[in-house]
Amino acid sequence: MIPQWKIYPRSQGHSTVYLQNVVTDPSITVGDYTIYDDFVHDPRDFQRNNVLYHYPINQEKLVIGKFCSIACGAKFIFNSANHTQRSLSTYIFPVLFEEWDLDVARIPEAWDNRGDIVVGSDVWIGYEAVILSGVTIGDGAIVGARAVVTKDVPPYTIVGGVPAKPIRKRFSEEDIAQLLELHWWDWPQEKIAASINAIQSGNLEELKRAAAG
C-alpha cells in the first residue's frame, strides 16, 4: 500500500502522481499504485480537470482499480453532460429551476442517467481518451489515444476510435482467463516485486508458479 503522504512516484519529475493520494472526493475511488500523468496541467488537479459533470445530486461514482496508467488529458464524463433525449427539448430547464419556477428535486430530469464509471485494474487509458458515464472497462484493457468509450470494454481488450471499438484481444482467451483468476494486482507488495520479471516478460507460467508458491 502506498503511504498517504507519497504523491510523486518519480524523483525526476512531478508530472506523474499516485492518483489515490490527490483525490479527495469520496465518490471517487482509486486503487493502489494507479498513476496519472499530466504535462499540461498540475496532475494533482485531476479531480477538477478530468472528472467532469460529476455533481453530488446524482450520487454517481468513479471507481478505478489498481495499477492503472492514465495518460494526460483523459476525461471521465458523467451523467449531467447527457442532456435528456426523452424530452421534446434537450434544453436544461430543470437545472435552471429558479428561472422557470421548478422544483429543485426535478434537476436530474435534465439528463439521462447512465450510471457509474468503473475501471478495472491494470488498465491503460491513452492520451485524451474520453470515458462516458455507464461504462465499465475490464481488467487489463487498453484504451487508445483520443478514443471515445461509449460501451463496456471486455478484459484485456484493446479499443480505439470514435466511438471506440474493439481492435484485438491482448492474449488468448485461455491466457486471459488465467490472468483474471490470478489477480496479481491484489497480491502483497513483496510478492508483486518478486514477480515483476515474469509480469514484464509475459511469462504466464512463471507467474502461475509464483501464485502457487
Helix, strand and coil content of the chain, in percent to the nearest 5, comes to: 30, 20, 50
Tell me the catalytic residues: 83
For β-strands 69-70 and 28-30, DSSP reports them as unpaired
Task: With beta carbons less than 8 A apart as the criterion, state whether 39 and 94 touch.
Answer: no
H or E segment and range at residue 194: helix 189-194
- CB burial readout 24-47, b (16+ within 10 A) else e: eeebbebbebbbbbbeeeebbebe
Cα–Cα nearest to 28, from 64, 52, 69? 64
Residue 47, C-alpha cell as written in the block: 479531480
The burial of 204, by beta-carbon neighbours within 10 Å (0-12 exposed, 13-18 middle, 19 or more buried), is given as middle
List phi, psi (to 5°) of 68.
-85, 155
